[in-house]
Amino acid sequence: MQALHWTCAALCILSCVGTGFAQDVIILQSESGNIIFTHKKHQEAVKDCTTCHKTAPGSIRKSGQYRPHKLCIGCHENRKSGPVNCVDCHKESGS
């Protein structure tokens, strides 16, 4: 039982410390145009990592198209803040 408590404590500490090591800007490749995702800006606005990272920190790159669209657009609509149209996120290369 004590091992469980230590494990939970370690995970809590790592989740808080982990935000300091996250990339500031992430470029997501897409056939519709690359997405420049400002991770740090989102961390500061949302504060709770589990809003986007339901199970553990990780990459949205491997989640396919549906989850990011639902997650990002849904959040932007709920908060009435952030882009909800394709061209607002998907930028042509070089722009």
* 24: its two tokens: 């500031």
Segment 48-68, tens digit of pLDDT: 888 888 776 677 777 777 778
- The residue segments making up the domain with residue 7 are 2-91
Angle at 84 between CA 41 and CA 49, to 5 degrees: 35
Say if pTM beats, i.e. exceeds, 0.75: no
CATH number for the domain harbouring residue 12: 3.90.10.10
Does residue 10 carry a pLDDT above 70? Answer: no
Closest CA to 69 of 49, 86, 55: 86
In this structure, the strands spanning 34-38 and 25-28 are: antiparallel
User: What's the total number of domains in the chain?
Assistant: 1
